Amino acid sequence: MPNSFSIIPSNVMNKLAIAEIVECNKITSRYGLILSQADALELVATRSEALSNYGRIEFTGGIINKLVIRFADSPFLSKHNYVTTLNDLIETFYYFKNETLDEISDDELISFMKNYFDHRCQGSIELLQIRELEALARNVRYGISDYENIYNDDEEVFDEEVYDE
């Protein structure tokens, strides 16, 4: 039926996406980070799963590439935790796209994630998800224009009652 979205064969799309991801190795290899075909396939599978879990749909790829390139220079990534972290980052990304009510653009969200991951979270995905991005999402939902300001006045940001009034 015309209202189903899975018209374009997914295997064709996946092959394209995998090729694009592997292509990123050219940039990331200087940091000692390399993704194999199997790794790329895993990342694509994670993306599909995250999209379906969070009730989202994607038309143009590129999120995985953006994450790979943006996070390549992170001091907390090594070849040992590279693939796992990327998987987590992909899932986190789509989760917080929902939580921020689509108010933040892809690039902006990725750049927040990178910034928090490298500094406040010191490479901890848990802290990134539970503390920083949660606070960011809350600020966005409360309609605070200065939503990225989650450090300076923690008291105010975390005290929900202040905004309930």
Partner 1 sequence: MNNLETQPKIDRKDLDQSDYFQSVLQESYRLNLLSVAEYENIQVQSIQLLAKQVHRYTGGESSSLKVETAQSIMQSIYYIIGIYLKSFPDADKCVAVLKQKPLQELHQHGKTIIAEQLKSAKQLLINVQCDGFITDNQAYNDTIQDGIPPFFSDYDAQFAAHDTPASIDYPLCNDKMNLVGIEYVLNYLETLCLENKFLNFFSIHAINRLLQSFNDHYRDLLINIFELVLTNALACVWVNKNSIHLNIEPVEREYLKEKLLKLSNVELTNHLHEALLQLCVELDISDHLLQKHMAEIIPDLSARLKNSLENNSLDSIFISFKEHQLQPVLFQEGTKMDDELFRSIVEEIKECRYVSDKIAIIQAEIHSISDLSDILAGYCIFNDEFRAIFESLGDMELALLLKMLPTDNTIDSDIHFTENEKDWHDRLNTFLNQLDLSRQKRIRKLVETIVFQKT
Closest separation between CB of residue 59 and partner 1, Å? 4
What kind and span of H or E run contains 38? helix 37-53
Closest separation between CB of residue 158 and partner 1, Å? 27
Distance CA 43, CA 38 (A): 9
Closest separation between CB of residue 105 and partner 1, Å? 3
Distance CA 154, CA 105 (A): 24
User: Could you say which of 56, 75, 115, 151 contacts partner 1 (CB under 8 A)?
Assistant: 56
Nearest Cα residue to 78 out of 28, 23, 143, 132? 28
- Cα-to-chain-centroid distance, residue 142: 22
Contact pattern for partner 1 over residues 1 through 20, marking x by CB under 8 A: -xx-x-xx------------
Contact pattern for partner 1 over residues 34 through 53, marking x by CB under 8 A: -----------------x--
User: Could you say which of 23, 102, 153, 159 contacts partner 1 (CB under 8 A)?
Assistant: 102
Residues 6 or more apart in contact with residue 77 via CB below 8 angstroms = 31, 33, 71, 85, 123
55 touching partner 1, by CB under 8 A: yes
And the tokens for 2?
A: 């015309």
Contact footprint for partner 1 (CB under 8 A): 2-3, 5, 7-8, 51, 55-63, 94, 97-98, 102, 105-108
